Structure 1
Amino acid sequence: MDTKSLIIEIATTLFQKKGYIGVGLSEILKACNISKGSLYHHFPNGKEELLIACLQTLEETITKDIDQIFKRYQTTKEATKGMIEKLIVNFETEGTITGYTFSSIVSEMASLSNPVRNACAHLYQKIQGIYLNKLLADGFSKETASSIAVMMTATIEGGMMLCLTQKTSEPLKIISERLPNLIN
């Protein structure tokens, strides 16, 4: 793995676990075993530029994973249940949902940085787009499918945050049982 990819991978994990504000440059440098000059070589504008690169990598990873799950199942209901069950397994085996959560970054940075807010908004739009396309394939009108896609995004994202703060997978288990039944 090249240095830039290593920095992005490690910083992504740190940002997800501790938030943007909770991670200092020195912690990133130490975790990557690189110099400050090396970091600024790859990210001349510093930590915020690195965060945006991390969000872009997350976007690729998350949307690819969700897309694969949604293609595997016949209906939105089945795909939603399958995706949430995967999140539950991840949480129960790893104690976190690293790789999917970025809400803490949104809450910290959305009002402070338009580039970060835009990167987060784009990621949410891509996730909603996957849900929307599956709902349209299920026969929902565009207006209804759009509304349900927003609800799914908010519900699942909120469920992940509840799991992390409560240190239990119970919120996602409840959502796994209830959310698919609301998709009618």
Structure 2
Amino acid sequence: MNTNTKSLIIENATALFQKKGYMGVGISEILRTCGITKGALYHHFPNGKEELLIACLESLNKTITTDVEAFFQKYPSTEEALEAMIEKLVADFERDGTITGYTFASIVSEMGSLNEPVREACSDLYTRIQGIYADKLMGDGFSQGDADSISLMLTASIEGGVMLCLTKDTSEPLKQISQVLPKTVLIT
């Protein structure tokens, strides 16, 4: 078994977990989607589905933080970066009917049934995203304490907006958030 097989498993399982949630995806569906045997899956992930989920979360963590950092480096202010990032999320939803690649929300919603290493992998992503937001806010002149508080609000608002888009099957929640959230940062 090579690393390409492992990457294929992680890529496909991540998409399935984001679309259906952790509990909504069975091993047989992962095997079928990847076109692999049970032995191949357990070769790469001897501890099974939770170990695979952690690998998926770690992969998403890198992808999401890289993308968010790129937005926040590209634009001179937090307001402009937020507007551009939310616009991209709206465009992704309107094009694909879902939002993947920027959120753990569909996976994290089941956290009560998952173990501590999975919870920690999810927590790490949110901590990193909040750090990106806080750094940009401090660059805009906010104190560390205010930047930390605002970054928590930004994370919760965007994640909540993504969940509302998915449950309502419309991009309207994120469109509304994009009209209010960046301006809220300036008021705070």
Q: Report the TM range for the smaller structure's normalisation.
A: over 0.9
Separation in structure 1 between the aligned mates of residue 120 and residue 23 of structure 2, nearest angstrom: 18
Provide, for residues 72-96 of structure 1, a one-character-per-residue CA deviation record: whole Å limited to 9, x for no partner: 1000000000100000000000110
Q: Who is 2:184 aligned against?
A: 182
Instruction: Determine helix, strand or coil for the equivalent of 1:182.
Output: helix
> Does the residue aligned with 1:2 lie in a helix, a strand or coil?
helix
- Structure 1 counterpart of 2:62, one-letter code: E
Report if the CA contact (8 A) 1:136-1:142 is conserved.
yes
State the match for 2:11 in structure 1: 9
Partner of 1:115: 117
The CA deviation string for residues 26-85 of structure 1, in whole angstroms up to 9 with x for no partner, is 000000000001000000110000000000000011000010011010000000001000
Match of 2:156 in 1: 154
The equivalent residue for 1:70 is: 72
Q: In the alignment, is the contact (CA less than 8 A) between 2:64 and 2:103 conserved in 1? A: no
Q: What SS does the corresponding residue of 2:109 show, helix, strand or coil?
A: helix
Distance 2:46 2:181 in 1: 43
The question of whether the paired residues in 2 share the 8 Å contact of 1:110 and 1:116 is answered with: no
* Match for residue 96 of structure 1 among 95, 98, 110: 98
TM-score, reference length from structure 1: 0.98
Alpha-carbon distance in 2 for matches of 1:110, 1:97: 23
Q: CA deviation at 1:112?
A: 3.0
Q: State the alpha-carbon separation in 2 of the partners of residues 166 and 100 from structure 1.
A: 18
- Could you tell me the percent identity over the aligned residues? 65
1:111–1:117 contact (8 Å) kept in structure 2 = no
Cα distance in 1, alignment partners of residues 39 and 75 from structure 2: 47
Using the alignment, how far apart are the partners of 1:160 and 1:76 within structure 2? 19
Question: Is the 1:55–1:120 contact (alpha carbons within 8 Å) kept by the matching residues of 2?
Answer: yes
Aligned length: 184
Question: Structure 1, residues 121-161: CA drift from partner, whole Å, max 9, x if none?
Answer: 00000110100100010010000000000000000000000
**C-alpha distance in structure 1 between counterparts of 2:87 and 2:109, whole Å:** 25
Q: Distance in 2 between matches of 1:76 and 1:100?
A: 18
Q: Return the match for 2:59 from 29, 51, 57.
A: 57
User: Which contiguous aligned blocks of 4+ residues in structure 1 show a shift greater than 4 angstroms?
Assistant: none
Task: Determine if contact 2:60/2:101 at 8 Å carries over to the other structure.
Answer: yes
Q: 1:111 deviation in Å?
A: 4.9
**Shift in Å, 1:107:** 2.0
The 3-state SS of whatever aligns with 1:183 is helix
1:35 pairs with one of 29, 34, 37: 37
Give structure 2 stretches of 5+ with no counterpart. none
Q: Aligned partners of 2:17 and 2:36: how far apart in 1?
A: 18
Structure 1 residue runs of 5 or longer lacking an equivalent are none
Question: What residue in structure 1 maps to residue 143 of structure 2?
Answer: 141
Report the Cα distance in structure 1 between the residues aligned to 2:55 and 2:126, rounded to whole angstroms: 16
